Amino acid sequence: MTDNQVSGWKTFKLDLGRLPWINFLVFMFTPLVIMQMGSLIGAHVTSIFVAMAWIVIVAAIYYLKTHAVNPFALITFLMILTRFIGGFLERQLPAFVLTESVDNTVIGLIFIGSMLWPRPFIMSLLDKELLKRTEEKFGKSKFWYKAWFDINIVWGLFYVIQGIIVSYATVLNMKTGYVIDFILSWPMTLVLLFFSVSYPQWYWTKHADQMKEEIEAAEEYEKHLAAVKS
């Protein structure tokens, strides 16, 4: 293993600059705060329309510039859409108020279901340079992927549990449900983002010796293959 790779075990640190601040603030924080503040002051429907307009416009601009769908925009759009549908349905049948907490469960299932993909959904939310930098150093070890697997499961379980808690609180008291939904939405997403960039440091440090052995073995195998081909 090269000196740079060896030093990588000690130099990998939590870098808050690697958090996707712009994506979080523009595509999740702003529209959700608009919608949730509107719900708290009694302008529920109006705030949903404003938040929907915001996310559609910024997501369209992002797509035109990058030709890619922003994952934060996708999550937020799903949240707003379910509340939009629930806001109309609950007028016909009060029980449909629970529709507004279904989005959390669906998002949780998306995270959990993505474990069947080559890369879990959480990797689409994080800074691409962070992923590239760590994969170059540690990607030849199974522990590199295992860290993201663990993080993805935490996100998935959190959203599923959040959906259950918000549903229960809404049944007891609609205003209480709005408050709990507010607390558990973007604030906890920010906490999860901090967790997502700090957990790998702890996990990879804990398994540093095993990772080093796996990476060195992979490099030796690659050298052997190269020698055979030559």
The mean pLDDT value for 77-94 works out to 75
137-175 pLDDT tens trace: 889 999 999 999 999 999 999 999 988 888 888 778 877
Helix (H, G, I), strand (E, B) or coil at 125: coil
Q: DSSP letters along 25-85, please? A: IIIIIHHHHHHHHHHHTT-HHHHHHHHHHHHHHHHHHHHHHHSS--HHHHHHHHHHHHHHH
- Is the distance from CB of 66 to CB of 58 less than 8 angstroms? no
193-206 pLDDT tens trace: 889 988 988 899 89
| Mean residue pLDDT across the chain | 82
Distance, in Å, from the CA atom of 40 to the CA atom of 173, rounded to the nearest integer, reads: 13
Share of the chain above pLDDT 90, in %: 29
